Amino acid sequence: MIKVCVIGYGTIGKRVADAILKQDDMELVGIADVVPDYKVKVAYMKGIKVYVPKDKFESFKSAGIEPQGTVEELLDKVDVVIDATPAGIGAKNKSTLYIDRKVKVIFQGGEKANVADVSFSALANYSKAVGKKFVRVVSCNTTAILRVIAAYLNNGYKIEKVRVNIARRGADPHEYRKGPINDVILDPPKIPSHHAEDVKSVLPDINIVTSAIAIPVTITHLHFVNIVFKDGISRDEALEALYRTPRIMLFESSYGFRSSAQVIEWARDIGRHRADVPENIIFKDTVSVIDRNELMFLMAVHQESIVIPENIDAIRAVSGYTNMWSSIRKTDEALGLFMEGKVYG
């Protein structure tokens, strides 16, 4: 059993913690946070052991959460740390908490790429993370883009260039202070957006340009993907590579799918915990091949859950587990993901 803890129990941390609880080769030793809010209280009520910095003991006790010990005590009990704190805190934790301990650490995409030895996407570069001390799972948008690029590279296609335009969700559902409201923001106000550089932190040789805007929704991002191949590709071949790739599903409009909200409603209807959708959802009827070698499609990306499977694979990789496909299968089975991309396509 790989002993794991989660530092930072927010949007990503609570989901990774629940995913760890579902793996038969991992044990969730505990979680740590600095704010005794409803999320941590829920974890505590579920029986998850909560660790906090020494100076936070009283505030957690006042909120009815009995800390199990300090963050340092938690770190001394584990093999692998998932750091899911807000962007920038992970880098601070690296120098104050992790660097001198024997733990392996997995950071999230909000950290700069140089926080880790490797930026990670299971389908694109699993083997590079095997045995490493510091690994960074790339952000939600980058994870989704890398999965589709990997779908083609892993099936023997050669890519000339990738162009992705991203309509980003303005905020996560719990972020009541954030906008935009009644606005469309250039986010960032330049091209390329940072997502292209982030993709290159995993696949340095890909010719990719990205742009992004933020829109007033909380449910998903939406990507306009354009991939130009070096050789010709038919629409059937383009679909087949997507079908064959884990964590990608194709949704067809004949089932009624034509919006992000429907994707989330589908997740509720099939009983997904938190209505999570860790798969890339590609709207099948948008999949088009133009001029023999240019593929276009639209894709919904559920930012709150898409990186969760990759975090689980990263735990195995840093622990020395070498078989990428076996890890991906194990993760996806435990999380109840569909193994067959054709269910709604």
| Closest CB 9 distance from ligand NAD, rounded Å | 5
Q: Which is nearer to ligand NAD, 239 or 310 (CB)?
A: 310
Q: What residues from 61 to 120 belong to the interface with ligand NAD (CB under 6 A)?
A: 84-87, 89, 108-111
Stretch that binds ligand NAD, among 1-9, 156-164, 238-246, 273-281 (CB under 6 A): 1-9
Report the residue number, 18 or 33, with the smaller CB distance to ligand NAD: 33
Q: In this chain, which of 5, 6, 13, 104 binds ligand NAD, going by CB under 6 A?
A: 13
Nearer to ligand NAD, 9 or 157 (CB): 9
* Cβ at position 13, least distance to ligand NAD in Å: 6
Q: Which position among 21, 35, 217, 296 is part of the footprint of ligand NAD (CB under 6 A)?
A: 35
Q: What is the dihedral of CA 93, 80, 138, 118, to 10 degrees?
A: 90
Count of residues touching ligand NAD (by CB under 6 A): 26
Chain-centroid distance, C-alpha 229: 26
Would you say 18 or 111 has its CB closer to ligand NAD? Answer: 111
Options 2, 17, 34, 213; binder of ligand NAD; rule CB under 6 A: 34
Widest distance between CA atoms in the chain: 65
The answer for residues whose C-beta is within 8 angstroms of residue 184's C-beta and 6 or more apart is 213, 214, 215
Residues 256-315 that bind ligand NAD (CB under 6 A): 303-304, 307
For the CB of residue 137, give the shortest distance to ligand NAD in the complex, in Å: 8
State the minimum distance, in angstroms, from the CB of residue 86 to ligand NAD: 5
Segment interacting with ligand NAD (CB under 6 A) among 7-15, 57-65, 117-125, 279-287 = 7-15
Q: 284 or 302, CB closer to ligand NAD? A: 302
Among 222, 196, 242, 197, smallest CA distance to 343 is for 242
Position 32 contacts ligand NAD (CB under 6 A): yes
Judged by beta carbon, residue 50 or residue 289, the one nearer ligand NAD is 50
Residue 29 sits at φ, ψ, to 5 deg, of -75, -35
Using the contact rule CB under 6 A, the part of the chain among 16-24, 26-34, 117-125, 264-272 near ligand NAD is: 26-34
Residues 126-165 that bind ligand NAD (CB under 6 A): 139-140
The residue at minimum Cβ distance from ligand NAD is 10
Instruction: Report the catalytic residues.
Output: 140
Interacting positions 188-247 with ligand NAD (CB under 6 A): none
Q: Of 31-39, 146-154, 229-237, 311-319, which part binds ligand NAD (CB under 6 A)?
A: 31-39
Kindly report the three-state secondary structure assignment for every residue of the chain: CEEEEEECCCHHHHHHHHHHHCCCCEEEEEEECCCCCHHHHHHHHCCCCEEECHHHHHHHHHCCCCCCEEHHHHHCCCCEEEECCCCCHHHHHHHHHHCCCCCEEEECCCCCHHHCCEEECHHHHHHHHCCCCEEEECCHHHHHHHHHHHHHHCCCCCEEEEEEEEEEECCCCCCCCCCCCCCCEECCCCCCCHHHHHHHCCCCCCCEEEEEEEECCCCCEEEEEEEEECCCCCHHHHHHHHHCCCCEEEECHHHCCCCHHHHHHHHHHCCCHHHCCCCEEEEHHHCEEECCCEEEEEEEECCCCCCHHHHHHHHHHHCCCCCHHHHHHHHHHHHCCCCCCCCCC
Binding site for ligand NAD (CB under 6 A): 7-13, 32-35, 84-87, 89, 108-111, 139-140, 172, 303-304, 307
